[in-house]
């Protein structure tokens, strides 16, 4: 029963400790950002531009930037949805340590989470980086150059500019992966949202958390190969479930936190 599950998650979040959320494309589809790796996604229509091709071929770079421009229009216009805002609420109230995300849309930061609390496993497409000197350029400047007819912009140092995301065939960002592993290994509660937990290294994180004895909850529309690891599974839209967890937490405020049996008490909707 979903109401019980929501109350259980809220009660566990309220116990304190280190609570970590892990998010995937499913949390952003409700903001109108398509899950471009899924079936019917952009990579079904186009073969991806691999990192090696980007670095070795101007034609590939131009193709990459053409696609990015089309994709970015949607991302730029997207706003955080109730699921993003619920996680930001949890953080503000001291109930969430960090968000590990597979998303590249920057919507967690846009919802109010500080940059240092968001671990981006696949980078962020709102940042443009030089592949040679590693400088980050203002995105408006790069957009202007594209609009002015430069099909594959380069840095002043001569390096190739590229959105700061992990392309197919590109190495994962070591520092971010390390942070994600450390958070997962030490958390007391692991809340997966909108991820099928299929892609590595994402798929390892729930195992690390489980090994640490964390309480495990997942909100995702479909089954995942990691479902057996989770104490609570909710198959519903994140934008509908997460705000209810925040509400349930607010209702729990009257119950003393010291008693673990308090977890079984459900807030009376009439009161
Ligand atoms: Zn450079």
Catalytic residue selected from 84, 108, 122, 132: 122
The CA 227 to ligand 1 mean position distance, Å, reads 44
Region of residue 203 (left: phi > 0; alpha: psi -120 to 50; beta: else): alpha
Q: To which residue do tokens 């673990």 refer?
A: 260
The CA 106 to ligand 1 mean position distance, Å, reads 23
User: What is the average pLDDT score of the chain?
Assistant: 90
pLDDT-derived band at 258, boundaries 50, 70, 90: low
> Of the spans 191-205, 213-227, 251-265, which averages the highest pLDDT?
213-227
Q: Is 122 a catalytic residue?
A: yes
Q: Does the pLDDT value for residue 120 go beyond 60? A: yes
Q: Does the pLDDT value for residue 244 go beyond 90? A: yes
The CA 137 to ligand 1 mean position distance, Å, reads 9
The CA 123 to ligand 1 mean position distance, Å, reads 18
Please identify every residue whose CB atom is under 5 Å from ligand 1, which is an ion.
130, 132-133, 155, 157, 159
Higher-scoring residue by pLDDT: 35, 212? 212
Q: Which of 4, 6, 2 is nearest to 243 (CA)?
A: 6
Q: Which parts of 116-217 fold into alpha helices (H)? A: 139-147, 174-186, 205-211
Average pLDDT over residues 177-200: 95
Q: What would the pLDDT profile of 74-108 be if each residue is shown by its tens digit?
A: 899 999 999 999 999 999 999 999 999 999 999 99
For residue 241, the model assigns a pLDDT of 97
């Amino acid at each position: 029963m979903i109401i019980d599950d929501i109350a259980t998650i809220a009660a566990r979040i309220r116990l304190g400790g280190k609570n970590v959320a892990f998010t995937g494309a499913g949390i952003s589809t409700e903001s109108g950002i398509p899950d471009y790796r899924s079936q019917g996604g952009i990579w079904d229509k186009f073969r991806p531009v691999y990192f090696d091709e980007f670095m070795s071929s101007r034609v590939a770079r131009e193709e990459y930037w053409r696609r990015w421009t089309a994709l970015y229009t949607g991302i730029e216009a997207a706003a955080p949805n109730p699921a993003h805002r619920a996680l930001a609420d949890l953080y503000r109230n001291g109930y969430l340590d960090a968000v590990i995300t597979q998303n590249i849309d920057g919507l967690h930061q846009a919802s109010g989470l500080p940059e240092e609390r968001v671990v981006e496993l696949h980078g962020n497409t709102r940042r443009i980086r030089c592949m040679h000197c590693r400088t980050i350029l203002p995105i408006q400047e790069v957009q202007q150059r594209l609009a002015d007819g430069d099909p594959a912009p380069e840095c002043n140092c001569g390096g190739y500019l590229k959105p700061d995301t992990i392309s197919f065939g590109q190495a994962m960002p070591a520092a971010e992966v390390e942070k994600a592993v450390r958070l997962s290994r030490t958390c007391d509660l692991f809340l997966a949202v909108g991820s099928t937990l299929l892609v590595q290294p994402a798929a390892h994180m729930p195992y690390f958390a489980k090994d640490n004895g964390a309480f495990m909850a997942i909100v995702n529309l479909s089954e995942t190969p990691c479902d057996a690891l989770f104490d609570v599974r909710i198959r519903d839209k994140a934008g509908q479930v997460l705000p209810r967890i925040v509400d349930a937490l607010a209702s729990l405020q009257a119950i003393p936190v010291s008693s673990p049996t308090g977890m079984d008490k459900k807030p009376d909707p009439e009161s």
